[in-house]
């Protein structure tokens, strides 16, 4: 992380580019910079993580899935009765240029200010919630001690049965997940019915040997799922998705969601229409068996939640 690039200037210097300063946060860890150097600017790492002048376009929305109206306490979104999304950090292992939260995260919105008492007070009054989903930012950027603290507090609530982590760290900063974190999660595996880990990954070329090792390490102890975002010019060929799905299968990861891209301001150059997306998914349906087929979903802009496309 320390050797990562943190501004457009640093990106320009390292890669000999001449980009306009991005309006959005920039962070690319060294793991990914080395891959960009290896693959060139046409590779999927450059396309997903290098800032681009196309971010200056003003079409799209600040809050493309209507999340901000769904915060019920600081860092807690409750949209579906029995599961709540907990966003304890705004830090990510890499800043994805297509991120649907890019406008919220860059402003370090009020809703991300910690007030954990309020989270617990809310959950005590909502016994219908049986699952806490750690999101962010990226929850695996938290220290093992912090994760331990949160899981311990949630374990005091009888009605919380399931824990889930949504993370990009295994695919983007694989060496960051140390044994302490795994030990903490393992400890709580006895307490909760399940600790599921959903890995955010979009392309087979992201699976380097470090990434493979990290996923294998997690897979020894926890059920692994994957979520991908369909992105124009990154993974919008059926072969891209097919290859990713089979490679993940070999690592014991079950495809969970394929997200239609959200209309986030500054990320519209990754956008595809629903018709284009459906066409790709229809072909994918023929290429992979049902048990390896992710659900193709859209997060509605009006905040009403996920819909199958
Ligand atoms: C996506 C999402 C969830 C999780 O939904 P699943 O279908 O269980 O994966 C929960 N809360 C919010 C706010 C979400 O956006
Ligand atoms: S890791 Fe997730 S939250 Fe962070 S920048 Fe990427 S898409 Fe956004």
Within a domain: 276: yes
Instruction: Name the closest ligand to CA 32.
Output: 2
Within a domain: 2: no
Q: What is the mean pLDDT of residues 236-265?
A: 97
Q: Is the pLDDT score of 104 beyond 80?
A: no
The C-alpha R_g of the chain, in whole angstroms, comes to 19
Domain that holds residue 124: 8-308
pLDDT of residue 134: 98
Nearest CA owner, ligand 1 atom 7: 306
pTM above 0.85, yes or no: yes
**Distance between CA atoms of 123 and 132, rounded to whole angstroms?**
10
**For 214-217, which contacts have Cβ atoms below 8 Å and span 24 or more sequence positions?**
214/170, 214/174, 214/175, 214/177, 215/170, 215/174, 215/251, 215/252, 215/253, 216/251, 216/252, 217/177, 217/182
Q: Quick: pLDDT tens for 108-145.
A: 655 667 789 999 999 999 999 999 999 989 999 999 99
pLDDT of residue 112: 64
Instruction: Name the closest ligand to CA 264.
Output: 2
- High-pLDDT (> 70) share of the chain, %: 97
Number of domains in the chain: 1
**Cβ–ligand 2 contact at 259 (below 6 Å):** no
| Helix, strand or coil, per DSSP, at residue 294 | coil
Atom index in ligand 1 nearest the CA of residue 257 equals 9
**Average pLDDT, rounded, for the chain:** 94
**Cβ–ligand 2 contact at 168 (below 6 Å):** yes
Which band of pLDDT confidence, cut at 50, 70 and 90, is reported for residue 303?
Answer: confident
Instruction: Tell me the CA–centroid distance for residue 43 and ligand 2, in Å.
Output: 19
Within a domain: 1: no
**Which of 22, 92, 230, 231 is the best mutation target for the ligand 2 pocket, counting ligand atoms within 8 Å of the beta carbon and taking the most?**
92
**Cβ–ligand 2 contact at 35 (below 6 Å):** no
CATH of the domain at 162: 3.20.20.70
Within a domain: 287: yes
Which band of pLDDT confidence, cut at 50, 70 and 90, is reported for residue 198?
Answer: very high
Atom index in ligand 2 nearest the CA of residue 102 equals 8
Q: Quick: pLDDT tens for 225-239.
A: 999 999 999 999 999
Residue 18: CA atoms inside 13 Å, Cβ hemisphere, count?
0
pLDDT of residue 48: 98
């Amino acid at each position: 992380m320390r050797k990562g690039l943190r501004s457009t200037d640093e990106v320009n210097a390292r890669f000999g580019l001449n980009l306009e300063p991005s309006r959005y946060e920039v962070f690319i860890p060294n793991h990914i910079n080395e891959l960009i150097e290896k693959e060139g600017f046409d590779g999927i790492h450059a396309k997903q993580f290098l800032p681009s002048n196309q971010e200056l376009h003003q079409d799209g929305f600040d809050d493309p899935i209507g999340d901000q109206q769904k915060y019920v306490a600081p860092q807690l979104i409750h949209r579906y009765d029995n599961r709540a999304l907990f966003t304890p950090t705004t830090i990510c292992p890499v800043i994805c240029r297509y991120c649907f939260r890019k406008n919220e995260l860059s402003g370090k919105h009020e809703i991300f200010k910690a007030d954990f008492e309020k989270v617990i007070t809310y959950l005590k009054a909502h016994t219908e919630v049986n699952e806490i989903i750690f999101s962010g930012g990226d929850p695996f950027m938290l220290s093992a001690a912090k994760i331990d603290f949160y899981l311990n507090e949630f374990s005091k609530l009888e009605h919380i049965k399931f824990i889930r982590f949504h993370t990009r760290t295994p695919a983007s900063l694989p060496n960051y997940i140390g044994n302490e974190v795994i030990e903490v999660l393992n400890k709580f595996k006895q307490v909760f019915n399940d600790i599921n880990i959903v890995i955010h990954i979009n392309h087979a070329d992201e699976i380097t040997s470090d990434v493979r090792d990290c996923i294998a390490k997690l897979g020894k102890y926890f059920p692994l799922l994957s979520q991908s975002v369909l992105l124009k010019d990154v993974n919008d060929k059926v072969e891209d998705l097919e290859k990713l799905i089979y490679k993940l299968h070999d690592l014991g990861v079950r495809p969970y969601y394929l997200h239609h891209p959200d209309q986030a301001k500054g990320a519209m150059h990754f956008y595809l229409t629903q018709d284009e997306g459906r066409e790709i998914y229809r072909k994918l349906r023929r290429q992979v068996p049902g048990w390896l087929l992710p659900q193709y979903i859209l997060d509605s802009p009006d905040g009403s939640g996920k819909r199958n496309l």
